[in-house]
Amino acid sequence: MLQDQDLVALQEVRTKVQQAYAAWQKYSTFSQGQIDRVVDHVAATAREHSQRLAEMAAEETGYGNARDKLAKNLLAAELLPKRMHGMKTVGVLRDDSELKVVEIGVPMGVIAAILPTTNPTSTAIYKILICLKSGNGIVLSPHPRAKRCSCETATLLAQAALEAGAPAGIVGCIFNSTVETTNELMRHRRTAAILSTGGSGIVKAAYSSGKPAFGVGPGNVPVVIEKSADVNDAVAKVVAGKSFDYGTLCSSEQAIVAEESLRESVLAALKTNKAYLCDAKQGDALGKLLLTPQFTVNADCVGQPAPKIAQMAGFQVPQDIRVLAAEVGGVGKQYPLSAEKLSPVLSLFFVKDFPAALDTAEAILRFGGLGHTCAIYSKDDTKIREFAVRMPAMRILCNTPTPQGSTGITTNLFPAMTLGCGAAAGNITGDNIGPLNLINIKRLAYEVRKPEEAFDMPAARLGPARAPISGGSQDVDKQTIISAVERYLAQRGIPMTPTPSEKMSTPAVAEVVDRFLSSKRTATPAVVPPAAPAAIPPPQPEIPDLSVAIVDFVCEYDVRNAINKSQKIYIGPKTIVTPAARDLASQHEILIMAKRR
């Protein structure tokens, strides 16, 4: 029966995503202990089959070699699980009793994992393990040139997850992967996030899918050999890194940058370590071979041994040569070898001094490797730190091969096969991607203060004038106070507006009340307490109630009258004193606190 293979492939994507989503709904209820048991068993299975999977990857893709692909498989199957051991990813992650905040890990859902052809099995192991550890489901989309080895890896690990108690379908793989199926996977409504590893096109597609995406940029890794370095050790490590899996890792060394004074020692060390020094003609031939007219990497040269690449470029080198090295006159499209090459071909730059080395290294990064990785060999920590601060890269490695250092084999960086390049390269993160990148964290927060205790609110930013304020034993508002004051003044025969003959002007009643309300809202008591030294003089001897009249309200007008008549004003604990009256009275000791017996 004839079938439309494109429709079959698209239906496979939809089926696998739905299965993964149904499985994740169950898996998302697993405890941390249950998840860890699944991860441990899956990792053990990956270790058991690492050698066979490495051989399959080298044979199917024709890139790199089985020995180094085994090392990358073990990075994912052994170093990564060790680093994740004890890591909390679900449930309560942190309970801060001092801050009264509880952090709770929440898985994202189904992760779409796009695999490259250069590292098809190690990246599959790595992505499956970090997704399972973070409580997520995963559906993998292999590179069309690496379907067999990637799908074999996914099938083995899916069965291991099932054996450890994970629900069926939690790990899925698209067996009929194409560009169309990969796009369908990334855009599917049940896809929660994307882990994309591959060329710039697929990474761009991931970020254009409308889903949260972790993609990585290309690497164009410069290595500075500073004059305090052990040159023989530095060059030996650079050659080891550059020849690792024939340069297929995007964090492989692309160029050596050294001061002119180190030229002879660097060249001698390269020869000692089986690097072939190309002449100018051979260097030009390599540039034309490795980069296409569109300035993309020639796929036929990716991950090939140095002698084969030399032969393809039209010259012969001994079969034990590990790296081809050529001096380059500058950085940019007119110098093809200054770009990323994904093969054991190394560019050489000799400059006058350390500042010039920094300039060249930065230019190399900006020419196709922004945000990725760089390295320095030096014993001068001041210059190492200067280099680290200056370089626009997220991984600054020191005295170590860059493929092994960037992925956590020779450093304590998180073991990873997906290396973020930060915002400068259009990536969401500069991390080595791990389980904690694949969870959300929700927070339970308890009240620790009242709103009015959180900050000092200026009076001008307070609410409407009629907002209630505290006035002794009950709350009153502005209009109530105005009415009380006007009745008080009327009873005493005091005019609302002072005459020109008054010694000093008297504020309108509303203005006085406004000042009083402002003082209340800024925590200045309007009712003057007995012990407030700034508002009332020290208490006088208690006076019998028969000899004095205790007033209920005092304004500035009352105080000025008392001053003119050389009188005192007797107040009680419930007397309302306006701010202006209080200030004026304190200068002349007019107010006397009287207590009834």
Q: Which residues are catalytically annotated?
A: 250
Closest by CA to 368, choosing from 238, 243, 494, 217, is 217
Torsion from C-alpha of 92, 162, 438, 102, nearest 10 degrees? 0
CB atoms within 10 A of CB 7: 9
Please tell me the distance from the alpha carbon of residue 428 to that of residue 422, in angstroms, as a whole number: 6
Q: How far apart are CA 406 and CA 419, in angstroms?
A: 8
Helix residue ranges per DSSP H, 367-409 = 381-390, 402-406
Could you tell me if 62 and 303 are in contact, meaning their C-beta atoms sit under 8 angstroms apart?
Answer: yes
> Locate tokens 């050999």: which residue?
225
| Residue in the structure block whose two tokens are 């492939």 | 9
Helix axis angle, 354-366 to 381-390, nearest 10° = 30
Contacting residues for 431 by C-beta, under 8 A, at least 6 apart:
394, 414, 420, 437
Burial environment of residue 387 by CB neighbours within 10 A (0 to 12, 13 to 18, 19 or more): buried
**Which residues fall within 8 angstroms of residue 25, CB to CB, at 6 or more apart?**
none
Token pair recorded at residue 425: 């390269």
- Pair 476, 128: CB distance under 8 Å: no
Cβ density class 478-514: b for 16+ within 10 Å, e for less: beebbebbeebbeeeeeeeebeeeeeeebbebeebbb
**441 φψ region: left (φ > 0), alpha (ψ -120 to 50), beta (else):** beta
What is the end-to-end Cα distance of the chain in Å, rounded?
111
Q: Is 137 helix (H, G, I), strand (E, B) or coil?
A: strand
DSSP 332-378: BTTBGGGS--SSSEEEEEEESSHHHHHHHHHHHHHTT-TEEEEEEE-
Q: Are 347 and 254 in contact (CB under 8 A)?
A: yes
Quickly tell me which residue has 């290595």 as its tokens.
Answer: 223
